[in-house]
Amino acid sequence: MEGLKLFGRWDFEGVEVQDKALAKYIDIQPIFVPHTHGRHSKKQFAKSRINVVERLINRMMRSGQGTRKVAGKFIRGEGAMGKKQTTVNIIREAFEIIEQRTKKNPVQVLVDAVSKSGPREETTTIIYGGIRYHQAVDVSSQRRVDFALKYLSLGAFAVAFNSKKSTAECLADEIIWAAAADQKSYAIQRKDETERIAQSSR
């Protein structure tokens, strides 16, 4: 697998997961085309063995959260990427934009964005004596990666909805901002909000 590059352009060699807690759950094994044809879909916890770029592609294949608002907008239906090849092209274009703007390997920028976007704490509901309580709990590493990918894709769709900017440009912006822990990133905003609510429920 040595020398294998993503889309024949971006190397996985030298890409590091800075957060050691996530190292086992962010797969950065070399891959040319991020498409496993669903071979892991029915295996429990197998998504941690799917390349992180393909996991982002899979997240981008759905738009919005149905009847719920994202960043104050209903974005279901608009921009839905039903075909995987269409989404692959969007990711490739977004990576080209990231490379031009940051002069860094876009795979490393994505890994940094995922590492910084997953909340470490959230709340769960406990019913005790017929009364509901919100209790702060730690978030597992697997769930942190899931949250990060979800927020990155939703943030890109929310900005691209009814906008002149393409989905690829919005995704590139979201990943760059998240990698820098910038508050302009929807993913960072959601992470901070989740952790703030959890902190008040301790």
Of the candidates 3, 65, 12, the residue with the CA atom closest to the CA atom of residue 34: 12
**Beta-strand runs (E) in 35-128:** 121-128
CB atoms within 10 A of CB 125: 8
Amino acid at 48: S
pLDDT tens digits for range 177-197: 999 999 999 999 999 999 999
How confident is the model at residue 185, as a pLDDT?
Answer: 92
Element (H or E) spanning 42, and its range? none
pLDDT in tens, 119-168: 999 988 888 888 888 888 999 999 999 999 999 988 888 888 777 888 89
Please tell me the least confidently modeled range out of 61-75, 88-102, 140-154, 176-190. 61-75
Asked if residues 160 and 168 have their Cβ atoms less than 8 Å apart, the reply is: no
Q: Domains of the chain by range and CATH?
A: 5-200 (1.10.455.10)
- Between the CA atoms of 62, 168, 108 and 41, what dihedral angle is there, to the nearest 10 degrees? 20
